[in-house]
Amino acid sequence: MSNLLELQPPDLWQHFTALNSVPRPSKHEARVIQHMQEFARQLGLPVETDEAGNVLIGKPASPGRENRPTVALQSHLDMVHQKNEGTRFDFATEGIRMRREGDWVRAEGTTLGADNGIGVAAMMAVLASRDLVHPPLEALFTIDEETGMTGARELRGGWLKAHTLLNLDTEDDDELTIGCAGGLDVVGSGRYAVEPVPQDHVVLGLKLDGLKGGHSGMDIHLGRGNANKLMNRFLLSSQARVAWIDAGGLRNAIPREATAVVAVADRAAFEESVREYAATLTREYATTDPDLRFRLVEDQADGVMELDFQRRLLRVLQALPNGVYRMSPDMPGLVQTSNNLARVLVKDGQYSLQCLTRGSVQSEKRDMAASVQAALELLGAEVELSGDYPGWTPRPESSIVKLMSGLYREMFGQEPHVTACHAGLECGILGQNYPDMEMISFGPNIRGAHSPDECVQVSSVQKFWRFLAATLERL
C-alpha cells in the first residue's frame, strides 16, 4: 500500500488511503463519520452533523473570492462490501488492502471503495489545500447511499446555502452526468413446507461462481450472467428435489455466485447433466464471464421443499424479469428501465426474493415494479415495495453544464460526453429539496464497481483532479 502514497496528487491518495483504513459499510458509518469530524477539527474548519449522520464541512473562499456564490461539493461516505469466495477478510474490522497494478489501483479480493471514496478523498484534499483557488465551499458527505440513499433522503432541510452542486460520484472521466435513474426495491417473502429427503435420493450441492457481476445500474446492459437466473435455469430443467437456495447478495450488485443443495435419485445421470450445463454456460458466457464455473460440491440437508412449492418457486424465478427492459428512445445508448434479481434465499421453511427496479421515467419504473410484484404474488408471497427514490431530470442548458463543457474542451481538446446514467445518484433526491440548485456529476475512470474487480485508474484520477481544481477556480 505504501507505493500509493507516492502517486499524484499525493494529498488525494493520502486521504483515500486513510479513508480505506476505516470500515464503512452502508448503515454502519459511525466510525467514518467520526473520522470526518476529526479531520475538520484538525483543519480548524466548521463542521456539523445532522440527525441522519450526514457531515457538512465549510471552508472560506480564497482571498479575493469572498463575494463569489457558494459552491457545494458532495460525495457519499459508505461503500459496497463484496469479496471473492475464499477471501479471508472482515469488513467490520479490517481496512481495505490495496495494491497498484500499472495504471490501476485495486483491492486484494474485495471491493476497493473507489466508489465513492475517491470523491470523498478529493473533497478532503480540496478542504486541506492552501493553494487551490476557489469560492466559498460547502462539503457535504452523505451516508448510506448504496442501500437506500438514506442520507440524501433525511438531509436536514435548508442546510445548504449553495446554488451549484458538484457531485463527485461517476465513473468515466470523459463524461459530465446531468441526469440519472430512480429506483425501487421489490421484495417478496413467505413460508413454505419442508418434507424429508426421499429415502432413495442422495444429497448433493451445486455451486455457480466466477461471474463478473458489477453495478446493477452502470453494468446492467453488458449482458453479464446473473447467478440467480442461471442457477434457477438448471434447477427448473432438472428432476432434482431442492433442499435450499442461497444466491446473490446486495440489491445493487449483479449476482456473481449461487449455491443450491438438492436431492437426486440417479447420481450418475445428474452429474452428467451438471457437466453438460457447465459446458453450455461456458459457451454462452465466454465473452462476458470467461471465469464462470458450475460444479458439484459435497453438502448435506435434512429436508427438501414441498414439491408443489418447488415447482411454483422455480417457475416464478424463471418468469421474473431481469436485465434491460427498455432503452431510452431519446438518449442513444442509455438504459431507461431495468430490473435486477439481486437475492434469492430459500431455506429452513422461509424465503425472500429481492429485486431492484431502476428507471429514469417514473411511470415506467412503477410499471416494471408492478410486473415483478405480479410474478411474486403468483407464488403467494407477501410483497413489499420500498426505498422509492426519484430520478434526476437533465437540465442541459444550465450554466454549470455550459461552464464545465467549455472548460473540458479547453483543457483536453475534445468534447465531453454530456449524458445521463442508469445508476442512482443522490442528485435526484437533493433536487427535490433544492429545486433551483444546478447540479452536475463527474469523476475518474472506475471499473467493476460493486464487485471485487473494482479498480480506479491512476492517470484518470490525475485528470479528474486537474479538472476539479480548474472548475473551482472558474466558479
How is the beta sheet containing 455-457 ordered, strand by strand?
98-101, 104-107, 455-457, 446-447
All three cell numbers of 396, joined, read: 442541459
**Catalytic member of 29, 144, 145, 438:** 145
38 to each of 124, 274, 353, 406, how far by Cα in Å? 12, 55, 41, 37
Closest CA to 152 of 75, 40, 79: 75
**Catalytic member of 29, 78, 169, 454:** 78
Structural contact between residues 83 and 133, judged by C-beta atoms closer than 8 angstroms: no
Rg (CA), the chain: 24
Instruction: Extract the runs of DSSP E, i.e. beta strands, from 368-416.
Output: 382-389
* DSSP 8-state secondary structure symbol assigned to residue 152: H
All three cell numbers of 21, joined, read: 483504513
Q: Is 145 a catalytic residue?
A: yes
The torsion angles phi and psi of 393, rounded to 5 degrees, stand at: -75, 125
DSSP string for 40-76: HHHHT--EEE-TT--EEEEEPPPTT-TTSPPEEEEEE
Closest CA to 324 of 293, 355, 358, 349: 358
Q: Is 306 a catalytic residue?
A: no
SS3 206: strand
DSSP string for 302-352: SEEE-HHHHHHHHHHHHHS--EEEEE-SSSTT-EEEEEEEEEEEEETTEEE
All residues at 6 or more sequence positions from 350 whose CB lies less than 8 Å from its CB, including other chains: 189, 190, 191, 192
* DSSP 8-state secondary structure symbol assigned to residue 25: B
Active site residues: 78, 145
